[in-house]
Chain A
Amino acid sequence: MPAPVTGRRARRARRPGAWLGWLFVAPAAVMYAVFVLRPLGLTVQYSFYDWNGIGASTWVGLENYARLFTEPELFATIVHAFELILFFSLIPVLLGLFVAATIRGIAQSRLALVARTVLFLPQVIPLVAAGIMWSWLLSSTGLANQLLSAVGLGGVTRAWLGDFGTALPAVGVIGAWVLVGLCTLLLLAGMSKIDPALYESARLDGAGPVREFFAITLPSLRQEIGVCVTVTVIAALASFDVVYISTQGGPGNSTMVPGLEIFYLAFSEREVGRASALAVVLIVLVLACVLPIQRLTRDGSR
């Protein structure tokens, strides 16, 4: 640690170094301002206009926002996004914890390496490819239905992505499949940091594997779980690619999510103002969900 800086003069003396620092940051800062802050500002601005993207625009104030909450179709997209959290966050994190604990138990065997690789593969495959693959698996003649028929459940087979009741959960399953690997890997990395002495002493005290998991593993993984939940909640609320490839929002808007609705509003209906308003609301929603998670999972002792 440098010596504490006290007087004004001393602070001024450090200036050249500080400017040099800004110089190094400048390229990234300029990119950030041009490609992140400026579009963000423009989106906020557009959200107050009625504009088709080409012609003249009219100032409409908060009307675009009001329509979000009065048009049931637009509001339904937000509800769908929250339903997806169940599949994109809850299942991957719970499953990830279970798998990571299992893999850690067999850490020395070759099977652990294979399991880790297989589970992480979905992260490497482009989401578009994953979406196409899953739409084949879930089609009326796909593998999922073949397996169901093979075990005598021919009665429940259906076009999973084309059925009003199952389309959204089916999209959720695709998301869960993608994100389980990410969560497993993150949690596994966190587990490797836990001091083995803790486990040893727990075992001396007579704790079984379950007790060990809840008393040591889970509390030690607080921050990693926080990261997993944050990343997956954002993925759920801002989902676009998986839905766009597998159902395009159908059937009958049953899988329409805000990301896709923004896209349709802006490029098919040419309602740039309403699309921007929905985008702004989505940003606020993501922040409102993610900031409390960050606060909750922050480790108090550090």
Chain B
Amino acid sequence: MSAKRIRKPVLAALGSAAVLLATACSAPGGDAGSTTGGATSAAAVATSCGSGPVTLKGYFETGFPLPKQLADEFTKQFPNVKWDIREDQFAVITQNAPRVLADDPPDLMRLPQVSELVKDGLLKNLDGYAQAYGWDKWPASQLEQMRVGSNGQRGDGPLYAQGLNFSMTGVFYNKKLAAQIGMTQAPATLADLDSALQKAKDAGITPINQFNGGATGGLAFPLQNLMAAYGEPGPINDWIFQKPGATIDTPSNLQATQHLEKWIKAGYFASDINSQDYATMMSRFIGGKALFIFDGDWESGNLDKQMAGNVGFFLMPPSQAGGKQAAMSAPLTYGISAKAANADCAAFFLNWVATNQKARDIDVSVGGSHPMGPSDAYMPPVKEGSITAATLEAGATIGKDNGSMDFIANATGAIYAKSWTPQLQKLAAGQQTPDALLKSVQKDYESQVKG
């Protein structure tokens, strides 16, 4: 082949690329900035699904049967409403959320951390519905995490999402293994827990199994529990809600991180936590291979079935006997796209989930967590001695102690994958110090909040 003949197509290709470049040269991005959700006023709303046929477009999290069963029950009660449901793993939903909300708006969607979605004007302001349905008369703490101010701070401002229920986290334990080390009741103080861990280790039992592999830094669960044992939940929430001047690098959090490091160095965690994902942790715990896991009540139904009678739950004990207790507790957030076609009907569904007796039954029996709604609302009966009963009771304790916290992993959209996970993996491998860990997370947090 001669050089002359080859040059022509190459030139043509380069030329077309240049043309394409030139046409594409307007700045990327839409006018989304001008339609900030915070500005949309709460207009008059319809509080029903009407009587004509409606197809609600749902985007749910796969692996959790609750939303699907609620949807089915809803259709049973309101036959004119049909569903068009798409499911994905939570990680995929997190990555897709902005584009799906913008380009293929669902009526109802499982939401990741909301503040950035609100900044981009992608979520519907639910204040109108909150007034119409009386959500604003529910205990304020239920909706706090889903309120977003105009600058992206959470905890205050218009409501942008609603929960199907709200979850409670703590420590699950294997009763048979607990009996082996003579642990007959839940540890009352942090020191009690420490000694239980040591006894388990001495007995050749893996004291704690916690997922911490891949992109899932599960040590965030015990870490945040320790933070609340050493300090107050208030400042932790301020940090998560992006309140100005909030920092995670506080003396009490440092003590908590040092305590976690002590557990790691003492060999209280399974040696391979850095390669374990969530499913591995669950299957090992259910298989009786560890005494404790730090997890949430979304597993209550599952554990009641698979380890019936052999599993217990307690809230992280306080550092002093009788002290206040705190726990991560968050609503299972669902929101409505700002461009949703059937927003009224989706909001009606959300209200129905919180107030309908059958829906609340499903919430507890399938979801295992506390339903949303007024504090005097109907509570479904639960089986005495079951894990579901224990986690619901823990919810009452947290309510009394005002100890509810959002997850430190939810502070910004990227803080979990970008900061907590790698840092906690380094801590688990002995490659990071508690002090440097907190400083590094705080530095990432500041750059993300600013950006």
Complex: A140 Cα to B417 Cα, angstroms: 24
Interface residues of A in 57-114 (CB under 8 A from B): 57, 59
Flag whether B17 is at the interface (Cβ < 8 A): yes
Given A41-B20, A46-B28, A250-B425, are A270 and B431 neighbors across the interface (CB < 8 Å)? no
Complex: A57 Cα to B29 Cα, angstroms: 6
Main secondary structure of the interface of B (DSSP, over half): helix
Q: Mark A32-74, 1 if CB is under 8 A from B, else 0.
A: 1100011011101110011111111101000000000000000
Interface residues of B in 243-295 (CB under 8 A from A): 271-276
Residues of chain B contacted by A268 (CB below 8 angstroms): 94-95, 413-414, 417-418
Whose C-beta in chain A lies nearest to the C-beta of B14? A37
Complex: A46 Cα to B28 Cα, angstroms: 7
Contact A248 B215 (CB under 8 A): yes
Contact A162 B274 (CB under 8 A): yes
Complex: A37 Cα to B426 Cα, angstroms: 41
Residues of chain B contacted by A46 (CB below 8 angstroms): 28
Complex: A277 Cα to B30 Cα, angstroms: 21
From A55, A140, A159, contact of B32 by CB (8 A): A55
From B20, B29, B273, B428, contact of A54 by CB (8 A): B29
From B32, B215, B271, B272, contact of A249 by CB (8 A): B215
Whose C-beta in chain A lies nearest to the C-beta of B424? A252
Q: Mark B83-99, 1 if CB is under 8 A from A, else 0.
A: 00000000000111011
Whose C-beta in chain B lies nearest to the C-beta of A160? B275
Complex: A236 Cα to B99 Cα, angstroms: 30
From B95, B119, B429, contact of A267 by CB (8 A): B95
Q: How many residues of A contact B (CB 8 A)?
A: 44
Contact B414 A269 (CB under 8 A): yes
Q: Mark B51-78, 1 if CB is under 8 A from A, else 0.
A: 0000000000000000000000000000
Whose C-beta in chain A lies nearest to the C-beta of B284? A141
Flag whether B158 is at the interface (Cβ < 8 A): no
Flag whether A199 is at the interface (Cβ < 8 A): no
For residue A275, give the distance in angstroms from its CB to the closest CB of chain B.
Answer: 12
Residues of chain A contacted by B17 (CB below 8 angstroms): 33, 37, 40-41
Residues of chain A contacted by B96 (CB below 8 angstroms): 267
For residue A274, give the distance in angstroms from its CB to the closest CB of chain B.
Answer: 10
Flag whether B80 is at the interface (Cβ < 8 A): no
Interface residues of A in 138-157 (CB under 8 A from B): 139-140
Flag whether B116 is at the interface (Cβ < 8 A): yes
Interface residues of B in 403-420 (CB under 8 A from A): 413-414, 417-418
Residues of chain A contacted by B98 (CB below 8 angstroms): 52-54, 270
Flag whether B156 is at the interface (Cβ < 8 A): no
Contact A54 B120 (CB under 8 A): yes
From A40, A54, A135, contact of B122 by CB (8 A): A54
Flag whether A161 is at the interface (Cβ < 8 A): yes
Complex: A70 Cα to B207 Cα, angstroms: 42
Residues of chain A contacted by B423 (CB below 8 angstroms): 252
Complex: A247 Cα to B213 Cα, angstroms: 7
Interface size grouping (class) on chain B: 35 or more
For residue B31, give the distance in angstroms from its CB to the closest CB of chain A.
Answer: 8
From A38, A51, A248, A253, contact of B28 by CB (8 A): A51
Interface residues of B in 350-388 (CB under 8 A from A): none
Contact B116 A52 (CB under 8 A): yes
Complex: A37 Cα to B212 Cα, angstroms: 40
Contact B214 A248 (CB under 8 A): yes
Interface residues of A in 208-226 (CB under 8 A from B): none
Main secondary structure of the interface of A (DSSP, over half): loop
From A32, A135, A251, A272, contact of B429 by CB (8 A): A251
Given A49-B28, A57-B29, A252-B426, are A159 and B215 neighbors across the interface (CB < 8 Å)? no
For residue B387, give the distance in angstroms from its CB to the closest CB of chain A.
Answer: 27
Given A49-B28, A51-B29, are A250 and B422 neighbors across the interface (CB < 8 Å)? yes
Flag whether B179 is at the interface (Cβ < 8 A): no
Residues of chain A contacted by B212 (CB below 8 angstroms): 251
Whose C-beta in chain B lies nearest to the C-beta of A140? B272
Contact B27 A269 (CB under 8 A): no
Given A41-B17, A253-B422, A268-B414, are A57 and B28 neighbors across the interface (CB < 8 Å)? yes
Complex: A13 Cα to B33 Cα, angstroms: 58
Whose C-beta in chain A lies nearest to the C-beta of B432? A252
Complex: A46 Cα to B214 Cα, angstroms: 29
Given A54-B29, A55-B32, A250-B422, are A140 and B271 neighbors across the interface (CB < 8 Å)? yes
From B20, B31, B451, contact of A33 by CB (8 A): B20
Flag whether A116 is at the interface (Cβ < 8 A): no
Q: Mark B15-52, 1 if CB is under 8 A from A, else 0.
A: 01100110011011111110000000000000000000
Flag whether A200 is at the interface (Cβ < 8 A): no
Residues of chain B contacted by A247 (CB below 8 angstroms): 213-214
Residues of chain A contacted by B214 (CB below 8 angstroms): 247-250
Complex: A202 Cα to B273 Cα, angstroms: 58
24 residue pairs A–B, Cβ–Cβ below 8 Å: A40-B17, A41-B17, A41-B24, A44-B21, A45-B21, A54-B30, A55-B33, A56-B33, A139-B272, A159-B276, A163-B274, A164-B426, A164-B429, A248-B214, A250-B214, A251-B212, A251-B422, A251-B426, A252-B426, A252-B432, A268-B94, A269-B413, A271-B451, A272-B28
Q: Which residues of A contact B (CB under 8 A)?
A: 32-33, 37-38, 40-42, 44-46, 49-57, 59, 135, 139-140, 158-164, 247-253, 264, 267-272
Please give 14 more A-B residue pairs, beta carbons under 8 A apart, in addition to A41-B17, A272-B28: A33-B17, A56-B27, A56-B30, A140-B272, A158-B271, A158-B272, A163-B274, A247-B214, A250-B215, A250-B425, A251-B425, A252-B422, A253-B422, A269-B414
